[in-house]
Amino acid sequence: MSGNEAQANIGVVGLAVMGSNLARNLASRDGNTVAIFNRSYEKTRGVLDAHPEAGFLPAETYREFADTLAKPRTAIIMVKAGAGTDAVIDELVKVFEPGDIIVDGGNALFTDTIRREKAVRETGINFVGAGISGGEEGALNGPSIMPGGSDESWVTLGPILKSIAAVAEGEPCVTHVGHDGAGHFVKMIHNGIEYADMQLIAEAYDLIRRGTGKSPAEIADIFAEWNRGELESYLIEITAEVLRQVDAATGEPLVDVILDQAGAKGTGAWTVQTALDLGIPVSGIAEAVFARSLSSKPAQRAAAATLPGPSAAWTVDDPDAFVEDVRRALYASKIVAYSQGFDEIVAGAAEYGWSIQKGEIAKIWRGGCIIRAQFLNRITEAYADDPSLVALLTAPYFRDALAASQESWRRVVVAAAQAGIPSPAFSSSLAYYDGLRADRLPAALVQGQRDFFGAHTYKRVDRDGTFHTQWSGDRTEIEAQDTH
C-alpha cells in the first residue's frame, strides 16, 4: 500500500502528454489532491519526480488507486482511445463502488461511449465521456471540455471541470453537452472542423506561395496580419509560427523539410463516417480528411507525377489583390466548415435524443481548444438571435460575410483550377455554397435516372404523389409507391 488512503479528491489514469498535464492542472487548483496511476509505473515515477510541487499521490495498482481516492471517487481516464479505454474501465469497475464516477477524457468514438455508459451504469458507477481539447498546453493551463453523462454526474463533476477549464471572456469553457455520448460526439465534430480549418489554411498558404513566390517567412507575416482581423484564431496564429521556423540542420524553412504526408488519428474520418450515416453533407471536412489520405500515398503520387498539368504558366498580376482574395476565400470556406459541423451536431442530437445547445457549444470552443477563434462569438450570437436557424451560413452576419467574400472565393477557385493547384477544401466549400443556394439542382435528373434503371420513383413539382415512368414499356407515367 502507498499509505495514501482516501486523501485524493480526484484521480487521473494515464500519464502520457494529456494525462500528466491534466493532472498538473488539477493539482494546481485550490483544494485538489490528485491521485495518479499509469499502466507502466515508470511513467508515474517520472511524473512524480518531475513535479514534486503537485503533491501527487501515486498508486502502483488499480486497488491502491481506488483506496487513495476519497468516496465517492472521481477518476479521469486519459489513455489511448479504444482498447486501452476498455481495459482501464474493466479494471476500475472492479475496484470502484456504486456512486463513484469514471470520466473518459480521451478521444473516444461516441458510440463506444454510449455502449460504455450503459454497461458501467449497470454496476451503479457513473460513467461520463468528456471530450477534452487543447493539446498539451490546453491540458496544463485550461482546455475546452465537452462532457456528456448523466445530470447527477454533472452535479459533482461540473465544479471540478469548471475549475480546470480555459476561461473565455470570463466564462469557463465547459458545459454539460448532453447525456451519454453527447460530449464525445461534439468533440468529434470539433476535430472534424479542426481538420477542415487546417486544410483550408494549408491551401491558402500553398496558393499564396505558388501564386506570388513569397517565402514562408513572408507568408508568416501575412498570417500574423490576418490574425488581427476576422480570421483571428489559434490555428492562424500557430501557422505563422510554423512558417517562420527555420530548420537548424539545413537553414531551410522548416516547412520545406517536413515530409508532405499528413497523418491522422481517426477523429476526422469518424466525423465524415457519422455524417454519411446521418445524411449530412460535411463536404469541406470530408475533403480535408481525403486530402490527408491522398498526401500519404507516396507510390500513387510518384506514379502520377508525370501526368500533364495546365499548358499555360500561371501568373498573378496583382499579388496584394490575390492575397486579399485568398483571405476572403478562406473566411468564406471556414464559415461553410462550421455551418456543416453544426448541421451534423443538430442531426446527431436528433438521432440520439440529446438536447444540445448550439450557442453554448460555440461558447465553450472560444478558449482552450484547437479551433478557438474570435469568430465563435458570431456563431453564439447567430443561434441566440434565432435558435431555430436552419443553416448557420444563412444567419445575417454570415450571409453578409459570404456576400462580401464570394467573388474573391470564385476567383481563387478558378485560379487554382487553371494553375493546377489542388484546393479541394476551397472548391468543395464553394460548390456546397452554390448547391445550397441553387433554385434548382440536377438532382431532378438523378431521380429520372434512378427511376429509369430501378423504378425508384420520383415526385413532381406540380402535384402531390409519387410517380414512375414505365421506361421499358410505353413510357407513360403511373402513380407508384414511394421507394425513396
Ligand X SMILES: O=C(CO)[C@H](O)[C@H](O)COP(=O)(O)O
Ligand Y SMILES: NC(=O)C1=CN([C@@H]2O[C@H](COP(=O)(O)OP(=O)(O)OC[C@H]3O[C@@H](n4cnc5c(N)ncnc54)[C@H](OP(=O)(O)O)[C@@H]3O)[C@@H](O)[C@H]2O)C=CC1
Catalytically annotated residues: 187, 194
CA–CA distance, 426 with 344 (Å, rounded to integer): 20
Is residue 223 within 8 A of residue 200, CB to CB? The reply is no
Distances 456 to 259, 277, 441, 481 between C-alpha atoms, Å: 48, 20, 18, 9
Binding partner of residue 272 among ligand Y, ligand X, none, CB under 5 to 8 Å per kind?
Answer: none
21 binds ligand X (CB under 6 A): no
485550490: which residue's cell? 30
Footprint on residues 166-195 left by ligand Y (CB under 6 A): none
Do 22 and 49 contact (CB within 8 A), yes or no?
A: no
Work out how close the CB of 16 gets to ligand X at its nearest, in angstroms, rounded to a whole number: 12
Q: Which does 19 bind (CB under 5 to 8 A by kind): ligand Y, ligand X, none?
A: ligand Y
Residue 264 touches which of ligand Y, ligand X, none (Cβ within 5-8 Å per kind):
ligand X
Nearest distance, CB of residue 130 and ligand Y, angstroms: 10
How far apart, in Å, are the Cα atoms of 381 and each of 57, 339, 391, 468? 44, 14, 14, 46
Contacts of ligand Y in 44-103 (CB under 6 A): 78-81, 83-84, 87-88
Contacts 24+ apart (CB under 8 A), 307-315: 309/420, 310/418, 310/419, 310/420, 312/418, 314/210, 314/211, 314/415, 314/418, 314/419, 314/420, 314/421
From the list ligand Y, ligand X, none, partner contacted by residue 191 (C-beta under 5 to 8 A by kind): ligand X
- Out of 94, 265, 297, 460, the only residue in the binding site for ligand X (CB under 6 A) is 265
Give bridge partners of residue 103 from the DSSP assignment.
Answer: 76, 128
- For the CB of residue 269, give the shortest distance to ligand Y in the complex, in Å: 14
Q: Which does 481 bind (CB under 5 to 8 A by kind): ligand X, ligand Y, none?
A: none
Choosing from 46, 72, 135, 281, the residue that interacts with ligand Y (CB under 6 A) is: 135
Of the candidate spans 201-209, 265-273, 307-315, 460-468, the one that interacts with ligand X by CB under 6 A turns out to be: 265-273
- Which residue, 192 or 211, is less far from ligand X as judged by CB? 192
Q: d(Cα 435, Cα 160) in Å, to the nearest integer?
A: 45
Which string of DSSP letters, residue by residue, matches 309-368?
A: --SSPP--S-HHHHHHHHHHHHHHHHHHHHHHHHHHHHHHHHHHT----HHHHHHHTSSS
Question: Does residue 435 interact with ligand Y by CB under 6 A?
Answer: no
Question: Is the Cβ of residue 174 or residue 370 nearer to ligand X in the bound state?
Answer: 370
The C-alpha cell that represents 384 in the structure block: 441566440
Angle of CA points 282, 391, 383, to nearest 5°: 120
Q: Say which entry of ligand X, ligand Y, none residue 84 contacts (CB below 5 to 8 A, set by partner kind).
A: ligand Y
Between the alpha carbon of residue 392 and those of residues 171, 174, 347, 376, 440, the distances in Å are 23, 22, 14, 12, 21
- Closer by beta carbon to ligand Y, 92 or else 220: 92
Burial 19-42 (b: 16+ CB within 10 A, else e): bbbbbbbbbbeeebbbbbbbbeee
Q: For residue 293, state whether it binds ligand X (rule: CB under 6 A).
A: no
Identity of the residue, 72 or 84, whose beta carbon is nearer to ligand Y in the bound complex: 84
- Give the separation between CA 146 and CA 40, rounded to whole angstroms: 28
Query: Nearest distance from residue 288's CB to ligand Y, in Å?
Result: 17
Task: State yes or no: residue 238 binds ligand X (CB under 6 A).
Answer: no
Give whichever of 106 and 211 is closer to ligand Y, judged by the CB atom.
106
Residue 95 binds ligand X, judged by CB under 6 A: no
Among 130, 173, 182, 370, binds ligand X (CB under 6 A): 370
- Complex with ligand Y: residue 13 or 392, whichever CB lies closer: 13
Applying CB under 6 A, among 11, 58, 106, 178 the residue interacting with ligand Y is 106
β-strand 34-37 against 57-58: which pairing, if any? Answer: parallel
Closest CB to ligand Y among residues 145, 382: 145
22/165 Cα distance (integer angstroms): 10
Nearer to ligand Y, 83 or 390 (CB): 83
| Among ligand Y, ligand X, none, residue 43 binds (CB under 5-8 Å by kind) | ligand Y
Query: Which candidate, 379, 401, 376, places its Cα nearest to that of 391?
Result: 379
Candidate residues 25, 85, 133, 271; the one interacting with ligand X per rule CB under 6 A: 133
Taking CA atoms, 343 is separated from 13, 109, 161, 193, 390, in Å, by: 34, 19, 27, 12, 8
Out of 46, 82, 135, 359, which residue is the one contacting ligand X (CB under 6 A)? 135
Between 13 and 329, name the residue whose CB sits nearer to ligand Y: 13
- Which does residue 106 touch among ligand Y, ligand X, none (CB within 5 to 8 A, set by kind)? ligand Y
Secondary structure of residue 232 in the 3-state scheme: coil
Which of 264, 391, 436, 480 binds ligand X (CB under 6 A)? It is 264
- Per-residue burial over 296-306, b = 16 or more CB atoms within 10 Å of its CB, e = otherwise: eeeeeeeeeee
Contact residue for ligand X among 107, 283, 457, 469 (CB under 6 A) = 107
Binding test (CB under 6 A) with ligand X, winner from 44, 74, 113, 191: 191
Which stretches of the chain bind ligand X, using CB under 6 A? 107, 133, 135, 191, 194, 263-265, 267-268, 370
Which stretches of the chain bind ligand Y, using CB under 6 A? 14-19, 38-40, 43, 78-81, 83-84, 87-88, 106-107, 132-133, 135
